[in-house]
């Protein structure tokens, strides 16, 4: 199959970025050609950190809505644009501020810890935000005698409980991609590829299974943890148990290793909504600004700042 030639679009995008002093941020799950147009690629934590430190005037977020919203909360003086207005997240949408308020009523002494995959309204009712990169460290930093309400990802929550031995109340949300990464699927790949390590994202349903956690060839880590793992391994073959596009960055970093996606049929369609044409049009028309009402932004900032300070 002939490779598509995107060079004219890349030129247009570069010129528009310069004209507007814009930075393009992209998550590793974005389309490969969109990743190639980004100034900065990262997982959720790295992207939030970059949104807070960049000196660009415009941030274009090639990811999903909660990521752009988080950037706008961190950097309200900047214009944050999203190329695909309807790029949602099933996990973020599983939790509402009203639902969280009811949950808190049942646990009035609890601390609320929310995954960054949440709306600004939910963050505003949260004590600490976390990403998959720093969730363990954040939970370990909290007083031992205090109940924790953790949401919305029940798989990440169950993984943290396993690792820390700490009981938490869990919101029952999950990601519609990672829910397909089951223990049975991982076991079948372990058998099929006896020389491979299996790298598993903690949003996966299998990540808190004792058999998986104890297996010498299984590693559970965030996207950045998965990207760093081959550096410390002498294996040449890896099964990648997360969203399949993460392989683009793995192949770029480790061209002499082989990476097999465990469930390539279950991609995050929200992350793929942004095309290069959308990115070009975003920069051309300065469109789809993401803003957060000031009273919500002011409340949501503290839990995000706490998240950014622990890594
Ligand atoms: P991380 O970027 O924290 O690994 O999370 C993965 C994800 O599903 C983003 O929505
Ligand atoms: Fe949300 Fe899952 Fe897509 Fe991440 S991969 S944006 S958690 S739906």
pLDDT, tens digit, 9 for 90 and up, residues 96-135: 999 999 999 999 999 999 999 999 999 999 999 999 999 9
What average pLDDT does this structure show over 294-298? Answer: 98
* Better pLDDT: 24 or 4: 24
Give the pLDDT of residue 275.
98
List, for residues 49-78, the tens digit of each pLDDT value.
999 999 999 999 999 999 999 999 999 999
CATH 3.40.50.10800 positions along the chain are 6-88+271-291, 91-175+296-309, 183-266
Look at domain 183-266 and name its CATH class.
alpha beta
Please provide the average confidence, as pLDDT, over all residues in the chain. Answer: 96
Of 288, 298, 135, the closest CA to residue 208 belongs to: 135
User: Residue 198: enclosing H or E segment and its boundaries?
Assistant: strand 197-200
Could you tell me which of 205, 200, 237 has the C-alpha nearest to residue 222? 200
- Shortest-distance Cα residue to atom 5 of ligand 2: 268
Atom of ligand 2 nearest to the CA of 177: 2
Domain 6-88+271-291: CATH superfamily, name plus number: NadA-like (3.40.50.10800)
Q: Which residues pair with 80 in a beta bridge?
A: 59
Task: Specify the CATH number of the domain 91-175+296-309.
Answer: 3.40.50.10800
Mutate to test the pocket of ligand 1, among 28, 40, 43 (most ligand atoms within 8 A of CB): 43
Q: Is the pLDDT of residue 235 over 80?
A: yes
* Residue 4, token pair as written in the block: 């598509």
Average confidence (pLDDT) over 179-204: 98
Rounded CA separation 89/214 (Å): 31
Query: Measuring from atom 9 of ligand 1, which residue has the nearest CA?
Result: 44
């Amino acid at each position: 199959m002939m490779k598509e030639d995107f060079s004219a679009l890349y030129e247009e995008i570069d010129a528009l970025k310069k004209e507007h002093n814009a930075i393009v941020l992209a998550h590793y799950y974005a389309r490969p050609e969109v990743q190639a147009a980004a100034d900065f690629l990262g997982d959720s934590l790295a992207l939030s950190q970059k949104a807070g430190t960049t000196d660009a005037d415009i941030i274009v977020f090639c990811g999903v809505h909660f990521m752009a919203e988080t950037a706008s909360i961190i950097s309200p003086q900047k214009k944050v644009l999203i190329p695909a207005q309807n790029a949602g997240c099933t996990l973020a949408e599983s939790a509402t501020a009203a639902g969280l308020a009811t949950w808190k009523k049942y646990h009035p002494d609890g601390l609320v810890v929310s995954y960054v995959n949440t709306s600004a309204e939910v963050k505003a009712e949260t004590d600490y935000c976390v990403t998959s990169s720093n969730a363990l460290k954040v939970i370990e930093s909290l007083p031992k005698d205090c109940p924790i309400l953790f949401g919305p990802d029940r798989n990440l929550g169950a993984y943290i409980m396993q690792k820390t031995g700490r009981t938490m109340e869990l919101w029952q949300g999950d990601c519609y991609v990672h829910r397909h990464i089951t223990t049975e699927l991982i076991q079948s790949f372990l058998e099929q590829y006896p020389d491979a390590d299996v790298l598993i994202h903690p949003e996966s349903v299998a990540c808190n299974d004792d058999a998986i956690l104890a297996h010498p060839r299984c590693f559970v880590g965030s996207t950045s943890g998965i990207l760093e793992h081959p550096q410390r391994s002498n294996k040449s073959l890896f099964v990648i148990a997360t969203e399949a596009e993460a392989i683009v960055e793995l192949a770029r970093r480790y061209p002499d290793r082989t990476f097999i996606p465990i469930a390539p049929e279950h991609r995050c369609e929200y992350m793929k909504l942004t095309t290069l044409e959308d990115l070009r049009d975003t920069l051309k028309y300065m469109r789809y600004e993401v803003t957060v009402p000031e009273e919500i932004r002011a409340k949501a900032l503290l839990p995000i700042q706490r998240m950014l300070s622990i890594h």
